[in-house]
Structure 1
Amino acid sequence: MRILRTDESRFRALPDFPYTPRYVEVGTDTPLRLHYVDHGTTNAAPVVMLHGEHGWSYLYRHMIPLVADAGLRVLAPDLIGFGKSDKPEDQQDYSFERHLDWLERWLLALDLSNVTLVCQNRTSLLALALVMRQPDRFSRIIAANAVVPREGDNPPATSIWRMFARYSPWFPVPQLIQLGTTRPLTREERNAYDAPFPSDRYKAGARSFAGTLGQPHKELNRQRLWRFLEGWQKPFITCFSDSDPGTRGGHRPLQRKVPGALGQPHITLSGGHFLQEDAAESFARVIINACRPSLAA
């Protein structure tokens, strides 16, 4: 496995991202470094914010200080292949199981417990698989524009997107982020989303992600995931947007099927696919309100 590491100079002077880089070694046979943001009081209740496709921890830059200032500890990891984390060069080096293993090693290395999990779009499959493996470490889940398909769901657009991501000679990450927002990103913000990728060689993880998430490991088929969710009693809150056709209506089965969703303050916010960009303050308020029991403890 050939590993690429984006030079730190690419991340200098990013707008609204003053956080000290932190790393955990998550590889086994091959040394592999996973980057994360850790902001707030160390012994406070942790909130793990997991980015979606294309993005990295920079996606949460406007939310991190708001949630930390409320008295919580915010942790925002970069998945392997994204952000400041190491990047295997071959698309074949990525799989659902490997992403899950890497993320679990990070969670265990930091010995996190009483975690509020914030997950985004199709990465919610990976996040929920992590909760399945370590259910006692999580106290609540906040699913933002989450895509949790049922067995047999395979929209044609998903297959087209997988083929484009894998084979297209042009894979413009900043433009893909912009397509998922309702507000125009500044040039500096677009550059920040492009910073992890000096060349296409660094994009194997980003390109493979759609296919990786569409082919979970055998231990996590969709039927088993839904059985797990249908037994989840802890708080489960959906936070969807009003202008994202790709995830429209995805909150309904989650609210109906997950016991922990009953009576929760589900909300629809104004924005596109990436609520972190379009509705950062409102989204942060959802997290803070959900975590009030932890703040009072």
Structure 2
Amino acid sequence: MAINALRTPEDRFSVLPAFSYQPNYVDDLDGYETLRMAYIDEGDKNAETTFLCLHGEPSWSYLYRKMIPVFTAAGHRVIAPDLYGFGRSDKPVDEETYTFEFHRNSLLRLVERLDLTNITLVCQDWGGILGLTLPMEMASRFTRLLVMNTGLPAGDGATEGFYRWRGFCASVPEIPVGGLIATDAGSAVNMLDVVAYDAPYPDNRYKAGVRRFPQLVPVDPDMPGIDLTTRARAFWSNEWQGQSFMAVGMKDAVLGEKSMEVLRSFIKGCPPPMKLEQAGHFVQEYGEEIAKQALIEFGL
């Protein structure tokens, strides 16, 4: 069945001086044939290691602009998709289309479609909530984890900051995407970055995903996705054999140090985190130093 979706005009992305990467598109993912997904594919296509960079809400792959060149300069391949509803990807209009499994399955299909192997999973926010459930389905494809300001909620509540954020998104007439990220990231972003974060959304009709995602985080009992995050906790605790690296934006009131210590307790062999005192939730805005340190820790 066709999904009613909007496609952001390409000219909205015409002024991206910090993000000159050409988008790639796939419109034949199994189960998503009526939708087009965008992704960045940079670096050596034959590289041994692929960094799969998953953004969260309300950002898009632009969030990784400071990390991508570090990985590619070291000889690695980088894949950075835009989730449906975000970035250059198609944006379903009906908020009910946005579900945990809808987005998780699309990422599984993308990994299969591109036949990615020796993956370093790089994730934050929803990129982690979804991404951390992927390796248990295809463990042989994933070898490393770089995780930032996210969690594996499984119906056991959340921080007060998260509940405030969820309530805000449910009540405001329109969520000011660029302004929110700028407020969080401070001097790490400029006005052109704000324009870039607003670019996917010509008007409020394009923001169904932005509005819906906070309501989907499985923090309350019986929410969809809890079975998957519960399984993922067990996988990372008991079965994960790869290398892990964690970075924390310490100014994050939603998924900061305390939340990340909880997550670290689920990740077998995860060392103490790299703490960025100046960074907030969108810690990738300080991503160059994170990426460099991760490569050192991984021996890459």
User: Scaled by the length of structure 2, what TM-score is found?
Assistant: 0.89
Sort the Cα spacing of 1:197 and 1:27 in 2 relative to 1 into closer, same or farther, 3 A.
farther
Equivalent of 1:32 in 24, 31, 35: 35
Extract unaligned runs of 5+ from structure 1.
none
Sort the Cα spacing of 1:83 and 1:96 in 2 relative to 1 into closer, same or farther, 3 A.
same
Q: Report 1:1-297 matches (<5 A).
A: 1-25=3-27, 26=29, 28=31, 30-44=33-47, 45-183=49-187, 185-214=189-218, 215-217=223-225, 219-220=227-228, 222-231=229-238, 232-246=240-254, 247-261=256-270, 264=271, 266-270=273-277, 271-277=279-285, 279-292=286-299, 295=300
Aligned partner letter, 2:17: P
C-alpha displacement of 1:228: 1.7
Identity of aligned residues (%): 39
User: Scaled by the length of structure 1, what TM-score is found?
Assistant: 0.90
C-alpha displacement of 1:150: 4.9
Worse-matched range after superposition: 96-105 or 241-250:
241-250
Structure 2 CA distance for aligned equivalents of residues 110 and 69 of structure 1 = 22
Structure 2 CA distance for aligned equivalents of residues 65 and 50 of structure 1 = 16
C-alpha displacement of 1:115: 0.1
Aligned partner letter, 1:227: A
C-alpha displacement of 1:77: 0.6
Sort the Cα spacing of 1:51 and 1:8 in 2 relative to 1 into closer, same or farther, 3 A.
same
Question: Secondary structure in 2 aligned to 1:75?
Answer: strand
Structure 1 CA distance for aligned equivalents of residues 149 and 288 of structure 2 = 16
Structure 1 CA distance for aligned equivalents of residues 130 and 197 of structure 2 = 21
Measured against aligned partners, the alpha-carbon deviations of 1:146-181 in whole angstroms (never above 9, x if no partner) come to 223354224454344334323421210011112321
Structure 1 CA distance for aligned equivalents of residues 121 and 224 of structure 2 = 20
Worse-matched range after superposition: 9-18 or 163-172:
163-172
Structure 2 CA distance for aligned equivalents of residues 155 and 218 of structure 1 = 17
Q: Are the counterparts in 2 of residues 148 and 250 from structure 1 also a CA contact under 8 Å?
A: no
Sort the Cα spacing of 1:94 and 1:233 in 2 relative to 1 into closer, same or farther, 3 A.
same
Q: Are the counterparts in 2 of residues 32 and 86 from structure 1 also a CA contact under 8 Å?
A: yes
Structure 2 CA distance for aligned equivalents of residues 32 and 290 of structure 1 = 38
Q: Are the counterparts in 1 of residues 248 and 274 from structure 2 also a CA contact under 8 Å?
A: yes
Measured against aligned partners, the alpha-carbon deviations of 1:132-153 in whole angstroms (never above 9, x if no partner) come to 2222110011111122335422
Deviating beyond 4 angstroms after TM superposition, the runs of 4 or more aligned structure 1 residues are none
Structure 1 CA distance for aligned equivalents of residues 159 and 73 of structure 2 = 41
Measured against aligned partners, the alpha-carbon deviations of 1:241-288 in whole angstroms (never above 9, x if no partner) come to 232232222232333342231xx46311232221221x2221111332
Worse-matched range after superposition: 55-64 or 207-216:
207-216
Q: What RMSD, in angstroms, separates the aligned Cα atoms of the two structures?
A: 2.0
C-alpha displacement of 1:218: 5.6
Question: Secondary structure in 2 aligned to 1:108?
Answer: helix
Question: Secondary structure in 1 aligned to 2:130?
Answer: helix
Extract unaligned runs of 5+ from structure 2.
none
Structure 2 CA distance for aligned equivalents of residues 251 and 143 of structure 1 = 9
Structure 2 CA distance for aligned equivalents of residues 147 and 205 of structure 1 = 19
C-alpha displacement of 1:29: 6.1
Structure 1 CA distance for aligned equivalents of residues 208 and 170 of structure 2 = 8
Structure 2 CA distance for aligned equivalents of residues 27 and 160 of structure 1 = 36
Structure 1 CA distance for aligned equivalents of residues 253 and 163 of structure 2 = 17
Worse-matched range after superposition: 28-37 or 7-16:
28-37
Sort the Cα spacing of 1:243 and 1:161 in 2 relative to 1 into closer, same or farther, 3 A.
closer
Measured against aligned partners, the alpha-carbon deviations of 1:44-102 in whole angstroms (never above 9, x if no partner) come to 11001111211101111122112100111111110110000010011111100000111
Sort the Cα spacing of 1:92 and 1:19 in 2 relative to 1 into closer, same or farther, 3 A.
same
